[in-house]
Amino acid sequence: MGVEQFSQLVAGDGGTLATSTSGTVETDNYTAGAGFDAADGEVTLNPAETIQELGITGCGADAVATLSTVGGDDVVVPLRGANVVWDTLEVDSVSITDSSNDRLTGWWAGE
């Protein structure tokens, strides 16, 4: 007997589903995170954890984010006033600056 799910029949008898995998399994259950709100146009995030999601909810037209990856690369992203959410990141630190000193707001999560 099956159960209707997402308009498709899922076969089974209600028992435990057994699965296996190897390698790294990504989840969205992060153990750490915080918000930020900087009125002076400068934010530096350098937590002990790896940043895996980053949301920027407010910035000015001159804002630029520099993401330092766990592999050692720096990625520079002009934000141009956009609100963004990045997920599936592997970032050690983030620096966001705004030469006009506009307020910067957002959040991060990781593990």
Can you tell me the distance from the alpha carbon of 52 to that of 36, in angstroms, rounded to the nearest whole number? 16
The CA distances from residue 44 to 23, 52, 97, 102, in Å, are: 31, 16, 9, 15
Give the model confidence (pLDDT) of 41-99 as tens digits.
999 999 999 999 999 999 999 999 999 999 999 999 999 999 999 988 899 999 999 99
**Structural domain boundaries, residue 46:** 34-110
The Cβ-side half-sphere exposure at 70, using a 13 Å CA radius, reads: 12
Can you tell me the distance from the alpha carbon of 105 to that of 99, in angstroms, rounded to the nearest whole number? 15
pTM equals 0.73
- Based on the structure, what is the number of domains in the chain? 1
Q: Which pLDDT does position 103 carry in this prediction?
A: 96
User: Is 46 inside a domain boundary?
Assistant: yes
Can you tell me the distance from the alpha carbon of 77 to that of 20, in angstroms, rounded to the nearest whole number? 38
H or E element at residue 37: strand 32-38
Which one is predicted more confidently, 97 or 16? 97
Amino acid at the residue 39: A
User: Is 78 inside a domain boundary?
Assistant: yes
User: Is 28 inside a domain boundary?
Assistant: no
Strand partners, 106: 36, 56
CATH of the domain at 65: 2.60.120.10
User: Is 16 inside a domain boundary?
Assistant: no
Strand partners, 93: 68
Strand partners, 77: 65
User: Is 70 inside a domain boundary?
Assistant: yes
